[in-house]
Amino acid sequence: MARRLLLPVLLALLASPARAEEAPACPSAALQPLALPRLAEALREGREPVVVAFGSSSTQGAYASSPDRAYPARLEAALRRMGIPVRVLNRGRGGEDALEMRARLEADVMAARPTVVIWQLGVNGAIREQSLARFRTLLRQGVTMMQEAGADVVLMDSQRGPWVAAHAVLRDLFDATLAEVAQERGAQLFSRRRMMDEWVAAGTPDAAMIARDGLHHNDRGYACLAEAVANGIRTSISLSR
């Protein structure tokens, strides 16, 4: 008899929708508002915006415990939890630099007709001591293509970690180039390095947010990165209404 009574309860639990994931507990950092007029327009018109997360391994989700723990998946969940219905596509590919990403820009980004592109790059170029002039040229080309296709563009700079010590000078130059091109082209800049510096200043050590390789985020780091980006988007959307 007990089994007969228990079976319907188990079936009901299995059939019920999964509870929305709650916001992670993240260290404090200053809000970075992101002005995204095309995203705001799509939402006003009742269209489902497409956000493409474009980048290398920390976009793909290296060292995340599963694909749904990478920052693009967490970003979509965070935005939907905030009442902003978007679809976030993960177009990260580990190990790539600006030249390799530029080569797949049309197929992996433009073909999706994105409303917003969040482009994370620069770390691999700094580590490999690549040409800063070439990086700047490729960055300008890519941002221009995205904007001309009708997308809001957000550039994302480097993360903290032990790797910085050996590459600090180039890391600073690549990050500065991202900021310069963002200003020049009217794109947005989301600064991971500033956010993570503020995490440390608030008492959260790098090891709490960075994986064992000393370079990529861990699950908590990805979740808090996604939450910070989502908060920047939400503020911009609320201001535009």
Q: What is the pLDDT of residues 127-157, one digit of tens each?
A: 888 999 999 999 999 999 999 999 999 999 9
Judge whether 13 lies within some domain.
Answer: no
CATH of the domain at 141: 3.40.50.1110
Please state which of the ranges 16-20, 189-193, 234-238 shows the lowest mean pLDDT.
Answer: 16-20
Judge whether 76 lies within some domain.
Answer: yes
Judge whether 2 lies within some domain.
Answer: no
Judge whether 37 lies within some domain.
Answer: yes
Judge whether 20 lies within some domain.
Answer: no
Judge whether 10 lies within some domain.
Answer: no
The parent domain of residue 44 ranges over: 27-236
Q: What is the pLDDT of residues 76-121, one digit of tens each?
A: 999 999 999 999 999 999 999 999 999 999 999 999 999 999 999 9
Judge whether 93 lies within some domain.
Answer: yes
Closest CA to 130 of 170, 91, 165, 92: 170
Number of domains in the chain: 1
Of the pLDDT bands very low, low, confident and very high (cuts 50, 70, 90), residue 168 is: confident
Judge whether 155 lies within some domain.
Answer: yes
